[in-house]
Structure 1
Amino acid sequence: MSQSGESGQGEIGVVAPGSDKTTLAIKVSGGSHWLAVGPEGSLYIVESSGNSVSVVKPGDAWVERHIQAGPSPVEVALAADGTAYATNQLAGTVSVVPALAPAPTHTIDVGAKAQPHGIAAAPDGTVYVAGILTNDVAVIEPGGTSVARRIPVGSAPQEVVAGADGTVYVTNSLDDTVSVIPAGADAASGTVPSGDDPGRMAVRRDGSVVVVNRGDKSLTVIEPPTAAPATAASLEEGAAGGAGAGGAASAADPANPGAVLSLPVMAGVAGGLVLCAAAAVVLLLRRRAAL
C-alpha cells in the first residue's frame, strides 16, 4: 500500500501475513503507484515521475533495479514467463521487459491517440491493452512485436483484468459497464452493468471479479460464469444498480453466468484508486458527453 514517511518521502508499506501493521517500508517517489507481482514474487512499482518501473525482490525493503520505460508509464502487467509490459500512456506505447532484464528490449506502438492505460496478461501470455480514446482493446500475442488485432468495447475503456480461465474483463468508464471477452476471442461476448464510473478491478480466488465504481462509491461483484461468458450480457439493468455510500446492496441471481452484486463502500476507497492521467481524460470525456 502507498503511504508517506515523516519527511514526506513516498513509501510502499508491506504488511506481513497475520500482522496488523506495516513491517517494512520501501522508499519510492511521491504520488500514486501501480503495483504488480511477478511469478517469482518480485514486486514491480510504476514510477511515472521517473518514467521507470522499480523492482523489489521478495522479502526485500529496497529497490533492486530501476527499469527505464517510456514517457508517463501508468501500469505494468506480468506474464507467466516473467515478461513485464508497461503502458506509456502519453507516448501510446507498451515497453516490453523480459524476465530479469535490466531494460526493455523493444516497445510496441498501440497508438498515441489511444491513450493506452489498463493492461493485463492472460494465462496464455496474450496481453490486452485498453485504449481510452479509441474505445477498444489492443491485443498483443505472446512474443509479438506489434498489435495483432483490436477488439471494440464500450466507451472510454480504462482498466483490464484477466481471469484464471483466460476471460478478460474491461471497465467502460462512460458506459458504466464491464465488457467480457472470452479467452482467445476476437470480440466481446457482451457487457455486464456496473455502478457509476467503473475503474479498478480485482480477480478473487473463486474467479469472481470485483469492480470499484468511483462515481457512486460502490463495489460491483461479477460472479464467475458457470457457462460460456457470452451469456454475461443477459442481465437486467437493475442488477448492478450501484448502491451509494449509504444505500442498500442489490443482487442478481448468483446462479446465472456473470451474475452481479453491488455493494456500498467508503468514499476514501474509490477516491484513493484513481491515477491522475486517466482520471483527467475520463473527466473530460464525461463533460463533453454532458454538453
Structure 2
Amino acid sequence: MRAYVPADEPAVVELLNLAAADLRALPWLMFDTEDFREKPLGFVSNRICQALVEASGIVVACVGSQVAGVASCWCSPEDHVALLQFVAVQPEFRRRGIGSALLDWCAYQARGRGCRELLVERWVDSRNRSLCALLTANGFRQHLRGQMNVTMCARLQPQRLEEPDLPRGCSVTTFSPGDEPEWVRLKNAIFGSHTTEEWFAGNYTSREDFLPEGWFFAVHRGRKVGIANVLLHAHPTEGPVAGSLEWVGASREVRGKGIGRALVAACMRRLYEWGLDDALLLTQYFREPAVKLYRSLGFRVAREHRMYGKKLV
C-alpha cells in the first residue's frame, strides 16, 4: 500500500474502467450514474484539479510493481463524515484481501482526521454482488433503506395487461396543448413539489422527443385529478430503447378509488403498443401503497440503489 502519485494515472483509470465494464455487463436498467461510464485518461488529475478528489486521499495497492487496486477517500472533518469515492481491484487479484485492505486504509485515514462515519459516495447497484459483499464483510451497513431508490420492472405480456378500470364518472385522457397549468398544479398537489410551467417545458414539452400520447390525466366529473406518463430512453451506445413510468399519482380526495391503478395500466398498455417488452419505474420502499400497487400489476424489484456507510467510533 502506498500513496498515489501522478504516474499512477493510467493504471488507476484502467482499474476504474474495468469496474465500469463490470456494471455495463449487467442488463441495462436506466437511471445509471457516472460509475457506469468509460473514463478518459486524465480523469483522476482533472478531478483533483477541480477539488472533487483529494490526491492525499487516494491509495494504491501494489503486487510487485503492478497496481492491483485503488481507493479514494474524501474527508470532511467539520462534518465528521468521510466519503468513499471509489474502490477497485484488478480481476486477477480479487479475493486476496486487497479490497479489504484498501477499505481499512480509508477508514483509518478518516478516523485519524476526526470523521465519525465513512459513507459510500454514490449508490451501489444491488446486482453488483461482489462489491456489496466486500462492503458488508468490512463493516459497512445499508442506511436510509426505506428512502433509497428502487428500480422495478414488469414484463409487458398482452394476456396480463389490464384495461383501465375506473369508477363511474371517471375517464383517462391524454395530454393536449394548454394542459400545462393543470399538469403542474396536480404534480405540486400530489407530490408536494414547487414545479413551474417553465420547468415542465424545459424538461419535457419543449423537447423534440416529447410524445403527448404517453402523458395521461385521470378525469373525475370533468375535473383532472390524476397524472401519469411514460418516457422512452435510448441506450447510451447502441442498445435497445427502454420505457419508464413517471409521476404516477392522484389527488387526495380520489385516492382509494382505483385511479392510480387505471393510470398505471394505461401507461403499460401504451408502452406495449409502442413495441416495448418491459416497463420500468423508480420508486422507494416507504411509498408502501405505490409499491403494493406496482407489485399487483406485475412489477418486481430489479435493482436496489443501495447506500452504504460504516461507523468509525
Q: Compute the TM-score of the two structures, normalised by the length of structure 1.
A: 0.26
Q: Compute the TM-score of the two structures, normalised by the length of structure 2.
A: 0.25
Which one has a larger percent strand, Structure 1 or Structure 2? 1
Which one has a larger percent helix, Structure 1 or Structure 2? 2
Q: Which has the larger radius of gyration?
A: 2
